[in-house]
Amino acid sequence: MSSATEVILLGTSGGPRWRRDRAGIASALVVGDAVYLVDCGYGTGRQMIRAGLGLDRLRGVFVTHLHSDHTVDFFSLLLFGWYEKLEGVERPVVALGPGDRGRVPPASPHLLTPPATICSDSPTPGLAEMTRHLTRAFATDINDRLRDNLRRHPDDLLVARDIALPQDVPFDPDHRPCPRMRPFPIYEDDRVRVSATLVQHAPVAPAYAFRFDADEGSVVFSGDTGVCENLIELAADADVLVHEVIDEQWVHRQYEGGRTEQQRSMIDHHLTAHTTIPDTGRVAERAGVRTLALHHFVPGELDSPRWDEAAKEFSGTLVVGQDLDRFPIRRT
């Protein structure tokens, strides 16, 4: 068994769009023969195959938040995984992610007429309930595969659970979506210890960042977030910080400086719920990490030298991530 520990950037494009040259957001941490997946953007399964990661090695899936660009291929891990070695797992893969928000978010101040609520009986399901809904939605396929293809029951392969916040965290999805808090443990096995903290991606809440500590080193995945003290604490002295990034100059060009209500709303979202190029460097510098790896690029199709400008604010090693980039984690 290999003892190598490495990060693989499976897909590096941010946002709910299809790209020609980048897959959707997903990353893997490989510790020996164990694989841990963070987020499941479009093309996740294909990218795992291209990276040489069999699903029989998968131990955990960690979902930072429930935007579709981070979850759209989550359930395909089961539906296609049946035929891609998932039945080789020794125990069910544990999937951990946000719980129910509790209520729909308030409408943007730029919205003139409030929209109708979709699925008003369950408008903001967490990961566990989302998985139950998806199982029902694909019941025709699943029942057929169980009977005609003799596949193992889904519960033997994948178990989805909501992350439970500590009771002393004063979380409120509308008013305190990212209160100051200490990181807390959510998962541990013989290879890794995983901690989480709330980050700033309102109005989507809860939204998490994750830290993985293994014998060879530590890796932090920011999830989608604006500049956030919780993340800086979580990432303190980590070997690698894998951080989202947005080109703030592109935002203003794309939305024409905010001529319409929708454009102004999009500018507000992009610049409060995401992290600009210079700010990614500042966050990494404050956290004292050794390597900053940028991913979740917005815009995803822009091969811009501007990404390199994060290095102006960061004294460590900067990686401008590309799909299937991989780099080892080693204690120094």
**7 CB contacts (<8 Å, ≥6 apart)?**
27, 28, 29, 30, 219, 240, 242, 293, 326, 327, 329
Q: Which fold has domain 6-106+125-165+181-327?
A: Metallo-beta-lactamase; Chain A (3.60.15)
**Cβ of 72: how many Cβ atoms within 10 Å?**
17
The whole-angstrom separation of Cα 39 and Cα 61 is 7
List strand residue ranges (DSSP E) for 247-303, in order.
291-298
| Residue 320 Ramachandran class (φ > 0 left, ψ -120 to 50 alpha, else beta) | beta
Q: What is the pLDDT along the chain (332 residues), one digit of tens a residue?
A: 356 899 999 999 999 999 988 999 999 999 999 999 999 999 999 999 999 999 999 999 999 999 999 999 999 999 999 999 999 999 999 999 999 999 999 988 888 888 999 999 999 999 999 999 999 999 999 999 999 999 999 999 999 999 999 999 999 999 999 999 999 999 999 999 999 999 999 999 999 999 999 999 999 999 999 999 999 999 999 999 999 999 999 898 988 888 888 888 888 888 899 999 999 999 999 999 999 999 999 998 766 789 999 999 999 999 999 999 999 998 76
Domain boundary assignment for the chain = 6-106+125-165+181-327
List beta partners, residue 218: 213
SS3 at position 325: strand
Q: What is the pTM of this model?
A: 0.96
